[in-house]
Protein backbone atom coordinates (compact mmCIF):
# COMPACT_ATOMS: atom_id res chain seq x y z
CA UNK A 1 0.00 0.00 0.00
CA UNK A 2 0.99 3.62 -0.44
CA UNK A 3 -0.58 7.03 -0.04
CA UNK A 4 -1.67 8.38 -3.41
CA UNK A 5 -2.81 11.95 -2.77
CA UNK A 6 -4.34 14.50 -0.45
CA UNK A 7 -7.55 16.27 -1.43
CA UNK A 8 -8.47 19.83 -0.46
CA UNK A 9 -11.88 21.34 -1.06
CA UNK A 10 -11.36 24.86 -2.40
CA UNK A 11 -13.68 27.85 -2.58
CA UNK A 12 -12.32 29.56 -5.71
CA UNK A 13 -10.73 27.09 -8.14
CA UNK A 14 -8.97 29.69 -10.30
CA UNK A 15 -7.46 31.41 -7.25
CA UNK A 16 -6.31 28.09 -5.79
CA UNK A 17 -4.84 26.89 -9.10
CA UNK A 18 -2.87 30.13 -9.43
CA UNK A 19 -1.55 29.70 -5.87
CA UNK A 20 -0.52 26.06 -6.30
CA UNK A 21 1.07 26.73 -9.71
CA UNK A 22 3.15 29.43 -8.02
CA UNK A 23 4.19 26.95 -5.32
CA UNK A 24 5.41 24.62 -8.09
CA UNK A 25 2.56 22.25 -8.88
CA UNK A 26 1.55 21.40 -12.43
CA UNK A 27 -1.94 20.43 -13.50
CA UNK A 28 -2.36 16.85 -14.74
CA UNK A 29 -6.05 16.91 -15.52
CA UNK A 30 -9.56 17.90 -14.54
CA UNK A 31 -12.46 15.56 -13.84
CA UNK A 32 -15.92 17.17 -14.05
CA UNK A 33 -18.25 15.67 -11.45
CA UNK A 34 -21.51 17.44 -12.31
CA UNK A 35 -23.40 20.55 -11.12
CA UNK A 36 -20.35 22.74 -11.87
CA UNK A 37 -18.12 20.70 -9.56
CA UNK A 38 -14.75 19.28 -10.53
CA UNK A 39 -11.57 17.60 -9.31
CA UNK A 40 -8.19 18.89 -10.47
CA UNK A 41 -5.13 16.68 -10.13
CA UNK A 42 -1.75 18.28 -9.45
CA UNK A 43 1.83 17.13 -8.94
CA UNK A 44 5.23 18.62 -8.16
CA UNK A 45 8.08 18.33 -10.67
CA UNK A 46 9.92 15.54 -8.80
CA UNK A 47 6.79 13.43 -8.27
CA UNK A 48 5.87 10.51 -10.51
CA UNK A 49 2.12 11.04 -10.35
CA UNK A 50 -0.71 13.07 -8.82
CA UNK A 51 -0.14 14.08 -5.19
CA UNK A 52 -2.73 16.80 -4.60
CA UNK A 53 -6.36 16.95 -5.65
CA UNK A 54 -8.31 20.21 -5.55
CA UNK A 55 -12.02 19.56 -5.07
CA UNK A 56 -14.25 22.41 -6.24
CA UNK A 57 -17.93 22.18 -5.29
CA UNK A 58 -19.34 25.70 -5.68
CA UNK A 59 -22.78 24.70 -4.38
CA UNK A 60 -21.22 23.85 -0.98
CA UNK A 61 -20.15 27.48 -0.40
CA UNK A 62 -17.03 28.78 1.29
CA UNK A 63 -14.52 26.27 2.67
CA UNK A 64 -14.19 26.20 6.45
CA UNK A 65 -11.03 24.52 7.71
CA UNK A 66 -11.63 22.38 10.79
CA UNK A 67 -9.45 19.72 12.32
CA UNK A 68 -6.90 19.70 9.49
CA UNK A 69 -3.33 20.41 10.55
CA UNK A 70 -1.08 20.77 7.51
CA UNK A 71 0.58 19.37 4.40
CA UNK A 72 4.41 19.23 4.25
CA UNK A 73 6.51 19.73 1.13
CA UNK A 74 10.23 18.92 1.01
CA UNK A 75 12.39 21.57 -0.68
CA UNK A 76 16.06 21.50 -1.65
CA UNK A 77 16.81 25.02 -0.38
CA UNK A 78 14.39 26.71 1.98
CA UNK A 79 15.97 30.15 1.56
CA UNK A 80 15.74 29.91 -2.25
CA UNK A 81 12.13 28.69 -2.02
CA UNK A 82 11.14 31.51 0.35
CA UNK A 83 12.77 34.05 -1.97
CA UNK A 84 11.09 32.61 -5.10
CA UNK A 85 7.64 32.48 -3.50
CA UNK A 86 7.99 35.99 -2.07
CA UNK A 87 9.06 37.39 -5.45
CA UNK A 88 6.02 35.66 -6.98
CA UNK A 89 3.70 37.48 -4.58
CA UNK A 90 3.10 34.78 -1.95
CA UNK A 91 3.82 35.28 1.75
CA UNK A 92 5.86 32.41 3.22
CA UNK A 93 6.78 32.78 6.87
CA UNK A 94 10.28 33.35 8.17
CA UNK A 95 12.71 30.45 8.32
CA UNK A 96 12.40 28.51 11.58
CA UNK A 97 14.65 25.90 13.25
CA UNK A 98 12.25 23.99 15.57
CA UNK A 99 14.81 21.26 16.43
CA UNK A 100 17.78 23.59 16.75
CA UNK A 101 20.50 24.61 14.29
CA UNK A 102 21.30 21.03 13.23
CA UNK A 103 17.69 20.04 12.56
CA UNK A 104 15.33 20.74 9.69
CA UNK A 105 14.60 24.27 8.50
CA UNK A 106 10.92 25.09 8.00
CA UNK A 107 8.64 27.87 6.80
CA UNK A 108 4.85 28.07 6.82
CA UNK A 109 2.72 29.09 3.87
CA UNK A 110 -1.06 29.54 3.93
CA UNK A 111 -3.16 28.82 0.84
CA UNK A 112 -6.16 30.98 -0.20
CA UNK A 113 -8.62 28.87 1.83
CA UNK A 114 -6.44 28.77 4.95
CA UNK A 115 -4.77 25.37 4.53
CA UNK A 116 -1.31 25.40 6.12
CA UNK A 117 1.68 24.15 4.13
CA UNK A 118 4.97 23.38 5.85
CA UNK A 119 8.02 23.84 3.62
CA UNK A 120 10.86 21.64 4.91
CA UNK A 121 14.57 21.52 4.14
CA UNK A 122 16.14 18.49 5.81
CA UNK A 123 19.64 18.76 7.30
CA UNK A 124 22.62 17.00 5.73
CA UNK A 125 21.87 13.28 5.77
CA UNK A 126 18.22 13.74 4.88
CA UNK A 127 14.99 13.07 6.72
CA UNK A 128 15.09 11.17 9.99
CA UNK A 129 14.74 7.42 9.64
CA UNK A 130 12.44 5.47 11.94
CA UNK A 131 12.31 1.76 12.60
CA UNK A 132 9.01 -0.01 12.13
CA UNK A 133 7.12 -0.56 15.37
pLDDT at 116 over 90: yes
Q: Is 123 exposed, middle or buried (0-12, 13-18, 19+ CB in 10 A)?
A: middle
pLDDT at 49 over 90: yes
Q: Is residue 130 part of a domain?
A: no
pLDDT number for residue 2: 82
pTM: 0.91
Query: Stretch 23-37: mean pLDDT, rounded?
Result: 95
- The CATH number linked to 112 is 3.10.180.10
Q: Is residue 34 part of a domain?
A: yes
At residue 36's C-alpha, the angle toward residues 33 and 42, to 5°, is 60
Range of the domain at 78: 6-121
Share of the chain above pLDDT 90, in %: 81
Number of folded domains in the chain?
1
Query: Across the chain, what does the average pLDDT equal?
Result: 94
Q: Is residue 133 part of a domain?
A: no
Residue 52 Cα distances to 62, 85, 86, 94, angstroms = 20, 19, 22, 25
pLDDT at 54 over 80: yes
Residue pair 41/53 in contact (Cβ under 8 Å)? The answer is yes
CA-nearest of 54, 58, 14 to 31 is 54
Give the model's confidence band at 129: pLDDT under 50 very low, under 70 low, under 90 confident, else very high. confident
Residue pair 102/123 in contact (Cβ under 8 Å)? The answer is yes
Q: Is residue 40 part of a domain?
A: yes
Q: Is residue 79 part of a domain?
A: yes
Amino acid sequence: MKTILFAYRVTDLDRSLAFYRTVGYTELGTVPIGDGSSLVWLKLADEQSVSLELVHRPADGKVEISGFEHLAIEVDSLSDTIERLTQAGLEPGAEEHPAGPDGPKISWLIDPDGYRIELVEWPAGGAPQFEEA
